[in-house]
Structure 1
């Protein structure tokens, strides 16, 4: 429960009355990396004007970390976020709060820019990265970290959120790619990076920025524990990841299932039946290029696969 309070963020010009937050919504993704619990917009934005313009969706290629550059002593993160929302919407004239997610110093996660039914929370284009917001997700940690060390509870919450997102989208945290894609002026950005990688700013503060290198390493380990594979086109079926798709005939699974794997043609004829290899969790189908149905007997797993 987040207690109400009357404090306002020192560097912002807008004040929103505080709220009592009574519960958290929990969102879960199958497999090892779970979406952490969060405070929805309907709770922290209560009694404030709602966004009036529908948002735009974008795929995620880079996760960009920010700090709010405000107080490190305000004990009411809900009030801070409400003030940021008013600054962004009424001060900057933006459609909504600029960030996709915000994280309090105590680790509490808040949902940011509102999808309004247009798409999923993590695919909404924000307003946070130097006017180059497509293909990014913005996460703001509350506080000012030029010289102050970020709290571990906050950094752990950041780690869990990014692990879930990168597992979900098969993003490799230690890699770089050009941003914005297809732009003649594109430049290399780490898939996990700070605001300062895009333009002249101190954000997310030296002490958070210095942690990002180690966080990339930690996230790589987290993703491997979650069953992450960097192969494009993986299928998620219940608690099982099937990859690659398309394949060259050898098909891998994220965990061992002691049941026959059956592959059929489009007319229903069984073309392959066998058990997955328990050593490398794979089968060698030996199939010619084409479209097939794969199912695992007695599990409810059934997917369309492509062999090329």
Structure 2
């Protein structure tokens, strides 16, 4: 009986990671450098923070991978951080690019790095909203984190500006996330 259930699960694309509604581009697939060091998050996290990179937007895996590598280089070489600061980044191609991921403490929201994950939309969203495919990817990623027990079922969603003096994640994206559950 177990073999039949397993066969049915594979036939309908069941995934052990329960994130089949999210396309996550792994660090190796976007060409990440190795981190200098890592620290483990205590899971599930209480907060989900939304950022924008305030830089170039991207619309393909190739262009987004290039943008993510540039951000990692900036964070490590210019800021002196151990790795890219964000947990995940979202491209206008609707894909999620793994930064520090679910399990590692990031460098994204001063005072809250060890109690939350950061999702950063690639681009500047002060005057425009990300494409719907990117917004859906972020929502699906958050739901995936809850299903995987990486994010608390009672998580608190905030924009970067809610936790410090910044305009991040841009006025238009900020107005959008204020309509999402858990804000």
Q: TM-score, normalised by structure 1?
A: 0.49
Equivalent residue for 1:53?
37
- Rounded to whole Å, the distance in 2 between the matches of 1:44 and 1:61 is 28
- Rounded to whole Å, the distance in 2 between the matches of 1:123 and 1:216 is 23
> Is the 8 Å Cα contact of residues 101 and 138 (structure 1) preserved in structure 2?
yes
Aligned residue-pair number? 165
1:131 CA drift (Å): 3.8
Counterpart pick for 2:143 among 157, 163, 166: 163
- Rounded to whole Å, the distance in 2 between the matches of 1:66 and 1:164 is 19
> Is the 8 Å Cα contact of residues 36 and 160 (structure 1) preserved in structure 2?
yes
> Is the 8 Å Cα contact of residues 59 and 93 (structure 2) preserved in structure 1?
no
Equivalent residue for 1:134?
114
- Rounded to whole Å, the distance in 2 between the matches of 1:154 and 1:200 is 25
> Is the 8 Å Cα contact of residues 58 and 93 (structure 2) preserved in structure 1?
no
- Rounded to whole Å, the distance in 2 between the matches of 1:91 and 1:102 is 19
Whichever of the two has the greater Rg, that structure is: 1
- Runs (4 or more) in structure 1 with deviation over 4 Å come to none
Equivalent residue for 1:147?
127
- Rounded to whole Å, the distance in 2 between the matches of 1:38 and 1:90 is 25
1:130 CA drift (Å): 1.9
Equivalent residue for 1:7?
none
| Structure with the largest fraction of helix | 2
> Is the 8 Å Cα contact of residues 58 and 91 (structure 2) preserved in structure 1?
no
| Structure with the largest fraction of strand | 1
Q: TM-score, normalised by structure 2?
A: 0.80
Equivalent residue for 1:292?
none
- Rounded to whole Å, the distance in 1 between the matches of 2:78 and 2:90 is 22
Unmatched 5+ stretches in structure 2: 1-13
Unmatched 5+ stretches in structure 1: 1-25, 114-120, 174-190, 220-308
Q: CA RMSD in A?
A: 2.3
1:41 aligns with 2:27: yes
1:51 CA drift (Å): 1.6
Task: Name which structure has the greater RCO, CA cutoff 8 Å, separation 6+.
Answer: 2
